[in-house]
Amino acid sequence: MRSSSGCIFVLILTYFQVAQAYTKFEPECTNPKETVNFVDSPPTRGTLDILWSSLFTIFACTYSILHLNVPEQRDDRDPGVGGDIKWFMKAIWSKMKWMLVTVIAPELLLFIATSRFLYAREQHPNIKKLADADGVPWTLAHTTFADMGGFAVRGSSGRIGKESPTLEIPPDRVSKELPTPEIPPDRVEKEPSTPDISPIPTQPQVDEGAPICTAPREWYFLTLDIILELRSKKHIKLPYIRKAEIDDHSQGDNFAKVVAAAQIIWTIANVITRAARRLPVSQLEISVIAFSVCALIIYACYWSSPKDVSVPVTFLQWEGPIPSAITEIITGTVKKAGSQRFRISRGVEIAQYPISNIFVYRTKNVLGPLSLFLGALVFGAPHLLAWNLTFPTPAERNIWRAAALYCSSSGLIVIATSALGERLNSLTNAIISITVVAYVLARLFLIVEMFRTLLFLPPGAYIATWTSSVPMFG
């Protein structure tokens, strides 16, 4: 099976160079002639050994690091097996799409992760202060959970999210008021004595004559900035939700992160060892180093963030329509942020859409905008390590060098062009469009070439090191 897959791999990569003769080497290792206590690993490695270990590391760098926002909710739509298959494929496609984006432009994911991390760290002290005033626990995990659409409000009787146990409405309750979340006895003395905070109800007070939305069915995702706006205007109290409940919504775990990080560290150690022994390194392994460095930074940014949350927690709910005082704050905050997340369809139904995964907040930290440049540099620079490696032709070596240099500086080009502002709007858009197209072409060349060069490695590239004896996947 390994032999057949190897032949298929060779045929694909040699398609564009028919004149190159196909050669194959099969190493011969002698077996011990008698029983021994220990047999060491062979001092060689094959083409497929390099391929599988590299592919697994790239997979770990593109799939396991994805921390997507809460997706669009099914909400009792498309019943039956056909609907199950449809929504299952929709979830798979969402991840596959972002995996493809990560393979082509991992620095974009690094930019998004860095921006969200910096924004969460900036806003965490503000919401933590409000949580302390409400006597509820609040950690950085709560902040990132809120910012990824982990909380929702709804005004219909249909359930679209997991209810927080402290916010559940009894079936026989018909009044407009929701019960105030219970506060543990050990937190009673921490309640503030100021009258403007303690009387805040879980559901906002609305006068009988106040205008309300007439939509029969409506619900919204809440983000961190929306929750801060609602709480600052004293419409809500933050819910009592423990970190363990946040972790329960997350479908990822720290063990999986550690396993993926260990694979990445193994790959980096392998390349460093080969370089120290002056053994040739493949272009594929160099590219994996670039993915690995980006992945480790993204892991650090998302370490406290829940992963693969599929259903939001109901933050507030009404038996009737959501008061317009709430919807105005939600839609107003969204417009202020410059992102269209909601659409009103003919005033009959307020349709709900998930928070875009490419939505990036404007953090005040200077590292926010610079992270795009740093991401391009962090990912592109390792490819320059292959500057003097063996290539099939001199032309391919020169194109690799040019593509690596361009990918390393593309972030700086985008930032410098964006600085032109609206004064040269048309020129700015044209330059950015050309930059993006050229970047995609450069990345596609690097991707194809890193696999193609596996067929033209020098003999020293197949000498194994001590890392071959370390457990890893691939």
- pLDDT tens per residue, range 224-235: 888 888 888 888
What's the mean pLDDT in 176-204?
A: 40
User: How confident is the prediction for the chain on average, in pLDDT?
Assistant: 75
pLDDT at 195: 33
C-beta atoms surrounding 432 within 10 Å: 15
Among the listed residues 350, 450, 363, the one whose alpha carbon sits nearest the alpha carbon of residue 400: 450
- With cut-offs at 50, 70 and 90, classify the pLDDT of residue 35: confident
Q: Helix crossing, 394-418 with 367-380: angle to 10°? A: 180
Residue 290 to residue 237: CA distance in whole angstroms: 45
With 0-12 / 13-18 / 19 or more C-beta atoms within 10 angstroms meaning exposed / middle / buried, residue 415 is middle
Residue 202 to residue 452: CA distance in whole angstroms: 61
Q: Alpha helices, DSSP H only, in 222-358?
A: 224-232, 243-249, 254-276, 283-302, 324-337
Three-class DSSP category at 344: strand
What's the mean pLDDT in 272-299?
A: 90
**Which pair of tokens denotes residue 40?**
């060491």
pLDDT at 430: 80
User: What is the identity of the amino acid at 124?
Assistant: H
C-beta atoms surrounding 166 within 10 Å: 17
pLDDT at 81: 87
CA torsion sign for 86, 88, 94, 96 is negative
Residue 312 to residue 65: CA distance in whole angstroms: 21
**Which pair of tokens denotes residue 251?**
């479908």
- With cut-offs at 50, 70 and 90, classify the pLDDT of residue 196: very low
Among the listed residues 439, 442, 390, the one whose alpha carbon sits nearest the alpha carbon of residue 414: 439
Residue 392 to residue 123: CA distance in whole angstroms: 52
With 0-12 / 13-18 / 19 or more C-beta atoms within 10 angstroms meaning exposed / middle / buried, residue 164 is middle
pLDDT at 341: 38
- With cut-offs at 50, 70 and 90, classify the pLDDT of residue 451: very high
Q: Which residues contact 362 (CB under 8 A, 6 or more apart)?
A: 368
Asked whether the beta carbons of 151 and 202 are under 8 A apart, the reply is no
C-beta atoms surrounding 96 within 10 Å: 13
Q: Is the pLDDT of residue 201 over 70?
A: no
pLDDT at 143: 92
Cα 16 off chain centre by:
35
Residue 8 to residue 121: CA distance in whole angstroms: 49
pTM for this predicted structure? 0.73
Q: Which residues contact 342 (CB under 8 A, 6 or more apart)?
A: 220, 330, 331, 334, 350, 351, 352, 353
Residue 410 to residue 424: CA distance in whole angstroms: 20
